[in-house]
């Protein structure tokens, strides 16, 4: 892909659909955009979200929508203000629409576990393998499960961010949850936002970062922590949950999980262990 005249161009390899939304402001002022805001749509699918973001009654839009169906739809040219941030504030600035590109990723958001199902806010049922278990960066958010983003969505967002950094000199990538923490919880913990920032802005540093050394000791920081036979959320528990403050030995790390020895051996979510 490349950017031509403020539009994504799939270079006849990737299909980028241009569907101009009437919901937009004027051109960005000089030196802007300098920020990218990442969102999830909280919708059922990309087609419905695109149609909502093109409906003048909603007064909302984004520059692009990245579908779970591998679709890319551009609604607003990158040189034009879109309406995605709403009331927002970060780093001493307010009203991020005037500074930022908005990328919406097709994802329904949090999931509620009900029996074997994981249900979205609109009642859509998702499989165990679609559920991501993770704590939100904003501590008041209590949801535990989130719909996974597809690998293609994560890669495509990264590619578009790289193009925007090169074209506009973007300095900052933020989640909607960071610029409007009292109102918004997107993109949520299932989106690897910190990893993306690290990759795009600190790549020279990350190679110097020391790798974690094992074994090492750790302490359970959750009120109680499930310990499982494998590093997946639906794996069987090997023992009763470990209470807060349990001291354990961390043996290795895999995909956000630690293999630990706490008297019994098993896998626990890394984010709930201070190691």
* Angle, vertex CA 100, rays to CA 90 and CA 173, nearest 5: 65
Write down the least CB distance from residue 80 to Zn ion, Å. Answer: 18
Tokens of 100: 């930022």
Q: How far apart are the first and last CA of the chain?
A: 41
Q: Does 24 bind Zn ion (CB under 5 A)?
A: no
Which residues have CB under 8 Å from 245's CB, separation 6+? 219, 220
Residue identified by tokens 């980028």 is 16
Write down the least CB distance from residue 184 to Zn ion, Å. Answer: 5
Q: Does 270 bind Zn ion (CB under 5 A)?
A: no
Write down the least CB distance from residue 176 to Zn ion, Å. Answer: 3
Torsions phi, psi for 73 (to 5 deg) = -125, 125
Active-site annotation holder among 17, 104, 158, 271 = 104
Site for Zn ion in 181-210 (CB under 5 A): 186
Q: Does 176 bind Zn ion (CB under 5 A)?
A: yes
Which residue lies nearer to Zn ion by CB, 39 or 63? 39
DSSP, residue by residue, 233-261? TTSPBSSSPEETT-EEEEEEEETTEEEEE
Q: Does 228 bind Zn ion (CB under 5 A)?
A: no
Is 253 one of the annotated active-site residues of the chain? Answer: no
Residue 39-78 contact track with Zn ion, rule CB under 5 A, x = bound: x---------------------------------------
Active site (catalytic) residues: 104
């Amino acid at each position: 892909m490349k950017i031509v005249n403020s539009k994504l161009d799939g270079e006849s390899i990737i299909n980028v659909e241009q569907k101009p939304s009437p919901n937009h402001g004027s051109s960005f002022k000089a030196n802007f955009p300098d920020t990218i805001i990442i969102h999830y749509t909280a919708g059922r699918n990309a087609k419905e979200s695109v149609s909502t973001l093109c409906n003048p009654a909603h007064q909302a839009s984004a520059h692009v929508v990245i579908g779970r169906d591998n679709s890319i739809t551009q609604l607003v040219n990158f040189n034009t203000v879109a309406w995605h941030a709403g009331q927002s504030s970060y780093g001493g600035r307010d009203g991020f629409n005037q500074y930022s590109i908005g990328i919406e990723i097709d994802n329904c958001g949090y999931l509620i576990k009900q029996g074997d199902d994981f249900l979205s806010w609109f009642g859509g049922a998702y499989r165990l393998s679609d559920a991501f278990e993770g704590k939100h960066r904003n501590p008041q958010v209590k949801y535990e499960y989130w719909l996974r983003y597809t690998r293609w969505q994560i890669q495509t967002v990264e590619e578009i961010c790289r193009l925007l950094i090169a074209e506009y000199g973007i300095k900052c990538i933020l989640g909607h949850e960071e610029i409007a923490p009292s109102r918004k919880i997107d993109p949520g913990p299932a989106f690897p936002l910190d990893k993306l920032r690290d990759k795009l802005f600190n790549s020279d540093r990350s190679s110097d970062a020391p790798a974690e050394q094992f074994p090492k000791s750790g302490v359970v920081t959750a009120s109680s922590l499930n310990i499982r036979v494998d590093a997946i959320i639906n794996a069987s528990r090997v023992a009763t949950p470990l209470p807060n403050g349990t001291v354990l030995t961390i043996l290795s790390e895999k995909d956000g999980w630690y293999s630990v020895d706490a008297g019994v051996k098993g896998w626990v979510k890394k984010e709930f262990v201070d190691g």
